[in-house]
Amino acid sequence: MSFGASFVSFLNAMMTFEEEKMQLACDDLKTTEKLCESEEAGVIETIKNKIKKNVDVRKSAPSMVDRLQRQIIIADCQVYLAVLSFVKQELSAYIKGGWILRKAWKIYNKCYLDINALQELYQKKLTEESLTSDAANDNHIVAEGVSEESLNRLKGAVSFGYGLFHLCISMVPPNLLKIINLLGFPGDRLQGLSSLMYASESKDMKAPLATLALLWYHTVVRPFFALDGSDNKAGLDEAKEILLKKEAAYPNSSLFMFFKGRIQRLECQINSALTSFHTALELAIDQREIQHVCLYEIGWCSMIELNFKDAFDSFERLKNESRWSQCYYAYLTAVCQGATGDVDGAQIVFKEVQKLFKRKNNQIEQFSVKKAERFRKVAPTRALCVLASIEVLYLWKALPNCSFPNLQRMSQACHQVDDPSVVGLKYLLLGAIHKCLGNSEDAVQFFQRAVKDELCRQNNFYVQPYACYELGCLLLDKPETVARGRALLLQAKEDFSGYDFENRLHVRIHAALASLRELVPQ
């Protein structure tokens, strides 16, 4: 009961980001952790000894199961406490969170291995029972003490945290891997997915969470970090299969409807996606945070359709209602407002961005403030606001979701911008647009121009490393230019630093190089 209550407290904190709720969640999780603290005796050795001594384990086995359950809850609490530390985005909080995660991983790993060993032991005993009738009574005691059902439930409980660890660490960029290895974390993507799938099919209370985690990975993480290279639809079949399996169990779930919309958006069915997100919005009438997630997607789908009025309405509501990042939402609101032609109104909102800047170490808010600064003194033009909307669509990997007619309209809008301070950015965006249109030769030329533009070092420093990455990925598609493509990826990784969304690009470079190593072993 304590864990369930503290878990709800944690989810509430993560949805609202309110300081009081985050502190309350920390207190609740620490209380639960203390309740569950127990001796870390070797579970396997203890139960093996009891079986060997032919002792009745009906008294001891439930305590073994209970001890494992408590250890898993302790690890879960530590992970959630670490997440709450990371949200503070302070160096001391990162260090503290890292060490908490290290403790949690040790517990998860030990419990996972112990439960696997117990399952093997159980199967071995059942086999012996079928072969040796004389041992039937003793083996019946073992089966009765530690049932297959309880072991499967424990395996489901530990698989959630164990799988999440593997999955998240497998995506860490190379510049952080040394720290990760120092803390002793592994990172096996397939193991992570397999464990989360097991957890989602189990009877543990975290099974629905494991299902949501898998959907989140396939429909948000994989396309956003380009984990499958230029294949923007990778993972959609898996996501569809999960939704199909769970549809009957959760017929009116706003979250499942939300993920249905995500799949439709990635398939470029934007009108269908908007319908799903609006339906999810209605289903979540009493769940403000889920409503905000749906509003966010409605805003993005509207931008993808170049419907800046509807996008403005969604982002303005988020700016006024959400506590997550009013600074970021204010920037999106101003961009869309300016793109509708209301540049005076947009300038007023651009001026608000600086006032709403609260999370000083947050890259998204830093980017928003930096971009808005230009329009605080000089009124924006509609063309520059449209360019800014295409820029965020590019940075958030949404251009591949756009239809060909809309991509062509974006290309025309970019060509209409003649401001010398954004030439490099214009070429980067034109390259990305032509890449999505399938015009590889034109894309290469635009990316090359973006790489050579020195003025962008002052105004849009991220343009050159991103252009290097994009150019490198295109060159990887042809056998004769693979070496040049790999060199450009390494250049993007090693020759630039201190630019916007650096870690984001490093994850994408890491994924591109990893896929290259699979095709061409180094």
Indicate which CATH number applies to the domain containing 275: 1.25.40
Assess whether 14 and 105 both reside in one domain: yes
276 and 310, same domain (yes or no): no
CA-CA distance, 297 to 303, in Å (whole number)?
10
Tokens encoding 3:
């864990």
Give the burial string for 273-286 (b: 16+ CB within 10 Å, else e): bbebbbbbbebbee
Residues 155 and 241 in one domain: no
Q: Are residues 319 and 437 in the same domain?
A: no
Q: Which helix (H) or strand (E) holds 215?
A: helix 207-216
Answer whether residue 56 is part of any domain: no
User: What is the rounded distance in angstroms from the CA atom of residue 96 to the CA atom of residue 34?
Assistant: 18
Q: Is residue 410 part of a domain?
A: no
List phi, psi (to 5°) of 352: -75, -25
Q: Does the residue 165 lie in any domain? A: yes
Residue of 482, 416, 423 whose CA lies nearest to 451:
423
The residue out of 286, 317, 334 marking a domain boundary is 286
Residue 412 included in any domain: no
CB within 8 A of 130, min separation 6: which ones?
A: none
End-to-end CA distance of the chain: 52
| Tokens matching residue 302 | 């509207």
Proportion of the chain in helix, strand, coil states, percent, rounded to 5: 80, 0, 20
- Has residue 83 been placed in a domain? yes
Looking at residue 497, its pLDDT comes to 85
Q: 32 with 164, same domain? A: yes
Residue with tokens 């949805």: 15
Q: Are residues 71 and 154 in the same domain?
A: yes
Report the pLDDT value the prediction gives residue 174, as an integer from 0 to 100. Answer: 56
Q: Which of 7, 3, 185 is nearest to 105 (CA)?
A: 185
User: 192 CB contacts (<8 Å, ≥6 apart)?
Assistant: 163, 164, 165, 166, 167, 168, 170
**Does residue 139 lie within any of the structural domains?**
no
- Amino acid 395: pLDDT: 93
Residues 503 and 453 in one domain: yes
Dist. CA 470–CA 491, nearest whole Å: 12
Q: Are residues 309 and 363 in the same domain?
A: yes
Same domain assignment for residues 83 and 164? yes
Judgement on whether residues 176 and 300 belong to the same structural domain of the protein: no
CA dihedral 55→58→59→60, nearest 10 degrees, is 70
Angstrom distances, CA of residue 489 to CA of 173, 178, 429, 481, 516? 13, 20, 18, 12, 11
Residue 101 CA from chain centroid, whole number: 18
Domain-embedded: residue 137 = no
Q: What is the model's pTM?
A: 0.80
The predicted pLDDT at position 460 comes to 77
- Judge contact between 466 and 472, C-beta under 8 A: no
- Same-domain status, 372 and 461: no
d(CA 452, CA 467): 9
Q: What is the pLDDT of residue 206?
A: 84
Domain count, the chain: 4
The domain in which residue 240 lies consists of: 205-215+227-286
- Over its length of 522 residues, how does the chain's per-residue pLDDT go in tens digits? 567 777 777 766 765 556 677 788 889 888 888 888 744 444 445 545 544 444 444 445 557 788 888 898 898 888 888 877 766 655 566 667 777 878 888 888 899 888 888 888 888 877 776 665 544 444 443 444 567 788 888 899 899 888 887 877 776 655 555 665 555 666 678 888 999 999 998 888 888 888 988 998 898 878 876 666 666 677 888 999 999 888 888 878 888 999 999 999 999 999 999 999 999 999 988 888 889 889 999 999 999 999 999 999 999 999 998 877 889 999 999 999 999 999 999 999 999 999 988 877 778 888 999 999 988 888 899 999 999 999 999 999 899 999 999 999 999 999 999 888 899 999 999 999 999 999 999 999 999 999 988 776 666 789 999 999 999 999 988 888 899 999 999 999 888 888 888 878 887 888 888 777 655 544
197, 191 in Cβ contact below 8 A?
no
Same domain, 95 and 190: yes
- Among 180, 156, 160, CA closest to 170: 180
Residue 497: alpha-carbon gap to chain centroid: 23
Among the candidates 373, 401, 429, a domain finishes at 401
Is residue 324, in this structure, part of any structural domain at all?
yes
DSSP code per residue over 291-349: HHHHHHHHHHHHHHTT-HHHHHHHHHHHHHH-SS-HHHHHHHHHHHHHHTT-HHHHHHH
Cα 427 to Cα 251, 368, 417, 460, 470, distances in angstroms = 46, 21, 11, 12, 12
**How many CB atoms are located within 10 Å of the residue 39 CB?**
5
